[in-house]
Amino acid sequence: MNGCFTNRLSRVIGRAGLAVLGALSAMFVAALAGEADIGGMNSVAGVLGSIVYASLAFYLGIDIPGRPRPTSVGERLDLVLLASAIGTFVASLAALTALFLFVFDASPAVVCILAIGLAWLAGLTMQLAAGSISRLLRPATLIAARALPERRHEV
């Protein structure tokens, strides 16, 4: 087997595993929302839509391609990477909270369940946006950075 092919395959397998984690988080939030009898979450379409959205967000939003090294001495803030990290944290924390409430058969107010669901959705949206931005905009940046001659800073 070619090493390059094996590396690509391992990245796809790893990201597929992350997509499964996203689907699992969707199941936790959907179970809590379904138990509270919240609108569309009691339907198969609502649960499947949540699973697909979460799987895409975890697949695209966690493994962000790196940006080119800055040419200056200082390190630049990578907002795409930060958005992905915050989105992952918020979605995971919301899913963990939903699982905790579901497993221990707690009966929180519907407003609390809606807040958990909206936090989970916001986290997924941040992941999906960060992953999409990095894949759509960064390849052009990487190609342009590679085409520029290396600059040396004299002190």
Residue 55 within a domain: yes
> Which pLDDT band holds residue 67 (cuts at 50, 70, 90)?
low
Nearest to 53 by CA among 133, 121, 131: 121
Whether the per-residue pLDDT at 68 is higher than 70: the answer is no
Highest mean pLDDT among 16-30, 108-122, 129-143: 108-122
Helix, strand or coil, per DSSP, at residue 37: coil
Lowest average pLDDT, out of 24-28, 136-140, 146-150, goes to 146-150
With 50 as the cut, is the pLDDT of residue 25 above it? yes
Q: What is the pLDDT of residue 155?
A: 46
Its sign, for the CA torsion 83, 52, 118, 13, is: negative
Tell me how many domains the chain contains.
Answer: 1
What is the pLDDT averaged over residues 54-62? 85
- pLDDT score of 143: 47
Is pLDDT at 83 greater than 50 in this prediction? yes
Q: How confident is the model at residue 141 (pLDDT cuts 50, 70, 90)?
A: low
Say if 101 falls within a structural domain.
Answer: yes
User: Which residues constitute the domain of residue 99?
Assistant: 3-147
Residue 155 falls within a domain, yes or no?
no
Structure confidence at residue 46 (pLDDT): 84
Asked if residue 78 belongs to a domain, the reply is: yes
Average pLDDT, whole number, for the chain?
79
The continuous run of DSSP H or E covering 20 comes out as: helix 3-35
Count Cβ atoms within 10 A of the Cβ of residue 120 and give its class: 0-12 exposed, 13-18 middle, 19 or more buried.
buried
pLDDT value of position 134: 83
Residue 152 belongs to some domain of the structure: no
CA angle 105, 47, 113 (to 5 degrees): 40
Instruction: Note whether residue 154 is domain-resident.
Output: no
